[in-house]
Amino acid sequence: MFLLLLLSLCALLLEGHAQDRAALWRGNDRAGRCQYTFTVQSPTETSCPQAGGPELEGLKARLSLLEVLVSRLSGGDAGGPQGAGSRGQPELRDALSKAVGERNLLQGEKERLEQELQGLQRRMEEMMRETERLRSRPCPLHTPIVPPSPPVQGGGLLRPAAGSSSMSHLVSRPNRQGDSSSLRDSTWQIGSQGFQELKAEVTEVPAPVGSEDLTGCGDLISVGEPVTHRKADNIEGKYGVWMQDPEAVSPYGPNMIWRIDTVGSDIRKLFGYDDMVQLSKGFPSKVLLLPEQVESTGSTMYRGSLYYQRRRSRTLIRYDLASESTAARRDLPHAGFHGQFPYSWGGYTDIDLSVDEQGLWAVYSTNKAKGAIVISQLDPHSLEVKRSWETQIRKNSVANSFIICGKLYTVASYTAANTMINYMYDTETSQGKPVSIPLKNKYHYNSMIDYNRAQRKLFAWDNFHIVSYDIRLSRQQVN
């Protein structure tokens, strides 16, 4: 039996040898493990073209080169025969890091644009529903007495005040530019049922009787031409906020200008410039790294502190410039954030902080206000809300707002070259009214506008450009 098996094996071997191609190899593979390879000639193919030989050697050489390159890029052996190549490693890393940074910035910008698009789609659907609702109502048989026109905000609708049925019987429709201040349709009278659906639950807290230190205050009557001070150097500065402390505190002087570029996923750099000249030259004298990230363009500067909204939260932070640390933090009660109630341009502009003659303010909205602008005066030390007003202005229907002498002004469009400041709300009387004050968006994408009390100007950030506007108030001196 054993002999028979031996003979069969010999026969097989002889037959394999006769084919002249069978072979067995043994060797270590790339991982160091033993590998056996048994090769038999194919019954249909007598040989592989160029098997082994020069092609295999070429592949081995290229593989070796690739291994060396991978090793360098991954921070491996920097020495070796190609030591000269290691000099290029820092440059490669820098380029890689820069490319990754730019990719992150672009991703952030993409997110913002997607959010803006969603917001616009929501507004469009809302307006279409509103239009259908209005169309379904019969026209009145007689022409109604036209009450004062409601404020019109950049293509949106305003909420009528609760209980004020004499107000806002009219609905305005935007023109193509989104500026609709001159369009009205007096025949569109809203019935009581639909009207109720639009109402915000307004509970306005009355302003205190009398006023404090309003010297030099008055109503805004005109805004000058935009003056450009600086263009941002890179995409991080497409949007941003710039500020000047009207009550500066040592170690920084009253001329100090502050700036935050707000494009990116980790916004924490606060640049300080000694004065406007240094700002226009782009030479900061101070760069502070904030302990927590900044959300959007609503920051402001007051009494030696930066006030800002922490990213993805309704938390307000007071950052003390002198000690370079957080001095106070507090949630702004019920405030929408991170795209819940932004201005019409989006950009997570849910909470807009500013300073005027009467102190520190926050402009935002809440679920209770259903998207209408809420104004709160804040304690600058503790960030507590001292007093609140709920307006009838839908926040996502205006491009931005600013406060001068306790009066909130809204801007109709952030893109139209010639737009309007179209509404004013006075916290002293808790009343609002439409206004028509021309404003120019020179660079067609205004992402921040605030009143600066130190220079009595409007500060704005318009599509990479830091600009200011002179303003005129109705009464420059009261006393």
Alpha-carbon distance 260 to 91, whole Å?
28
Residue 334 token pair: 């019920």
Residue 125 token pair: 């659907």
Alpha-carbon distance 377 to 383, whole Å?
9
Please state, as a whole number, how many other Cβ atoms lie within 10 Å of the Cβ of residue 326. Answer: 15
**Residue with Cβ nearer Ca ion (160 or 339):** 339
**Residue with Cβ nearer Ca ion (149 or 422):** 422
> At its nearest, how many Å lie between Ca ion and the CB of residue 106?
26
**Residue with Cβ nearer Ca ion (402 or 425):** 402
**Residue with Cβ nearer Ca ion (189 or 401):** 401
Beta-carbon contacts of 462 under 8 Å, excluding residues fewer than 6 positions away, are 226, 441, 442, 443, 444, 445, 446, 447
**Strands of 249-324, DSSP E:** 257-261, 269-273, 286-289, 300-302, 305-309, 315-320
- With beta carbons less than 8 A apart as the criterion, state whether 448 and 192 touch: no
- With beta carbons less than 8 A apart as the criterion, state whether 354 and 283 touch: no
> At its nearest, how many Å lie between Ca ion and the CB of residue 402?
5
**Residue with Cβ nearer Ca ion (147 or 359):** 359
- Residue in the block written with tokens 């009595």: 456
Q: Which amino acid is at 39?
A: T
Is 306 strand, coil or helix? strand
User: What is the residue-wise DSSP string for 395-437?
Assistant: GGGSSEEEEETTEEEEES-SS-SEEEEEEEEETTTTEEEEEEE
> At its nearest, how many Å lie between Ca ion and the CB of residue 396?
14
> At its nearest, how many Å lie between Ca ion and the CB of residue 439?
13
Beta-carbon contacts of 70 under 8 Å, excluding residues fewer than 6 positions away, are 76
> At its nearest, how many Å lie between Ca ion and the CB of residue 328?
21
> At its nearest, how many Å lie between Ca ion and the CB of residue 383?
18
> At its nearest, how many Å lie between Ca ion and the CB of residue 403?
8
**Residue with Cβ nearer Ca ion (179 or 352):** 352
- Name the site residues for Ca ion (rule: CB under 5 A): 352, 400, 402, 450
> At its nearest, how many Å lie between Ca ion and the CB of residue 364?
11
**Residue with Cβ nearer Ca ion (245 or 352):** 352
**Residue with Cβ nearer Ca ion (337 or 402):** 402
